[in-house]
Amino acid sequence: MENTNSNLINLSSVNDGSDAALFVSGELYNSGCSLFGTEILIYDHDTLVQKFICCLNGFFYFKLDYEKLYKIVISKSDLETRVIYFNTNLYGFPFEKRQYRFGLALKPLISKAVYLPQVSENISVKFNYKTELFEHNVQFDSQSKKVA
């Protein structure tokens, strides 16, 4: 369940053509703190299904099943916690291998004296049946990309 690999897996090297799934990849950014140890926790409802520990470069990669509502929590003790709600419902479109890439800026905590995690604006990602792409409701950062 835990992935501590230091390299982003190349999507073209994934050798599971029989699995129709959504492959999510991207990079976390921060201008002042190390990203080493940043956790990416993926929940299917309230059940933890995947856990990743980021390396220094902030790259990540994971696979999501279709027809689910995931909650992805990205956190580190000295950074604001980010929550992404990811709806993988395709609304009748065929299940196939699809990709979604994004970058996400992580901000330092305002005060180290604050003990509860500070959560920035929640982000939601869902399939847009008009464009046939997964899209998010807010701009993650200037380097965000949508991939068919």
DSSP 70: E
> Which pLDDT score, from 0 to 100, does residue 7 have?
35
CA-CA distance, 84 to 80, in Å (whole number)? 13
| Secondary structure percentages of the chain, helix, strand, coil, to 5 | 0, 45, 55
42 versus 20: the higher-pLDDT residue is: 42
Would you give the distance in Å from CA 14 to the centre of its chain?
A: 18
CATH at residue 61: 2.60.40.10
Q: Is 114 among the domain residues?
A: yes
Mean pLDDT value of segment 98-116:
74
**DSSP letters along 4-17, please?**
--SSPPPGGG---T
pLDDT digits (tens, 9 = 90+) for 44-55: 988 999 998 887
pLDDT higher than threshold 60 for residue 1: no
CA-CA distance, 145 to 107, in Å (whole number)? 20
Whole-prediction pTM:
0.72
Task: Give the residue numbers spanning the domain of 59.
Answer: 2-7+19-136
pLDDT higher than threshold 50 for residue 135: yes
Would you give the distance in Å from CA 5 to the centre of its chain?
A: 16
> How many C-beta atoms lie closer than 10 Å to residue 123's C-beta?
19
